[in-house]
Amino acid sequence: MKAELRRDIEFMQLIKNETIFDAAIKLFQQKWKAKECPLINNFIDYFINEWYMSNKGWFEGFAIGYPSSNNALEATNGTIKSLYTFRERLPVGEFLSVLENDIIHQLSRERNTDDPITSQN
C-alpha cells in the first residue's frame, strides 16, 4: 500500500495543469479515504493540509516556465564555493566580507538587464 500511495503522489507531482491537479487531489483523497484505515486517513489529512492547502507549489504545472528543481541554485552555490571561498568554510565575518567585496560586486556587473530572470522589475 505504501508503494501505491507513493506512486499516486509522484504521479500528481508531474501534472502540468492546475485544474487537473486540483481534480487529481480530490480523487486521491477520495481513493485513500475509502480505505477506511485510521493511519491512512491521518496521513491523507496531513498531506492535504500541508501539501495542498499550505504548500501547493510542488507540482510541475504550478509555475510554467520556471525550473521545478533547485539545480540552478545549487550550481550558483557551487560557483560561489569554487571561485570565492575555495570550498573552505569561512567564519561568518570573513564570508560577509567576501560576499560584499567580491561576489555582489562581480554579479552586479554581470547582470543582464535584458534577461527577465536577472533584471529587476
Q: Judging by beta carbons within 10 Å of its beta carbon (0-12, 13-18, 19+), is residue 59 exposed, middle or buried?
A: buried
Are residues 48 and 95 located together in one domain of the fold? no
Establish if 118 belongs to a structural domain: no
Whether residue 119 is contained in a domain is answered as no
- Asked if residue 49 has pLDDT above 90, the reply is yes
Is the domain of 50 the same as that of 82?
no
- Give residue-wise pLDDT tens across range 25-39: 999 999 999 999 999
Last residue of a domain, one of 31, 46, 63: 63
User: Is 120 within the bounds of a domain?
Assistant: no
Kindly report which listed range (5-9, 41-45, 74-78, 104-108) carries the lowest average pLDDT score.
Answer: 104-108
Report how far residue 27's alpha carbon sits from residue 32's, in angstroms, rounded to the nearest whole number.
9
Single out the residue of 57, 52, 55, 54 nearest to residue 68, CA to CA: 57
- On whether the CB atoms of residues 58 and 13 are closer than 8 A, the answer is yes
Is the same domain home to 83 and 34?
A: no
Residues 36, 17, single domain; the answer is: yes
Q: Residue 59 domain-assigned?
A: yes
Answer yes or no: is pLDDT of 102 > 70: yes
pLDDT tens per residue, range 53-80:
988 888 888 887 776 767 767 777 787 7
Domains contained in the chain, number: 2
Judgement on whether residues 24 and 49 belong to the same structural domain of the protein: yes
CB 48 within 8 A of CB 12: no
- Distance, in Å, from the CA atom of 117 to the CA atom of 96, rounded to the nearest integer, reads 24
Cα–Cα distance, 3 to 31 (Å, whole number): 15
Which structural domain, as residue segments, surrounds residue 84? 71-110
Last residue of some domain: 43, 63, 83? 63
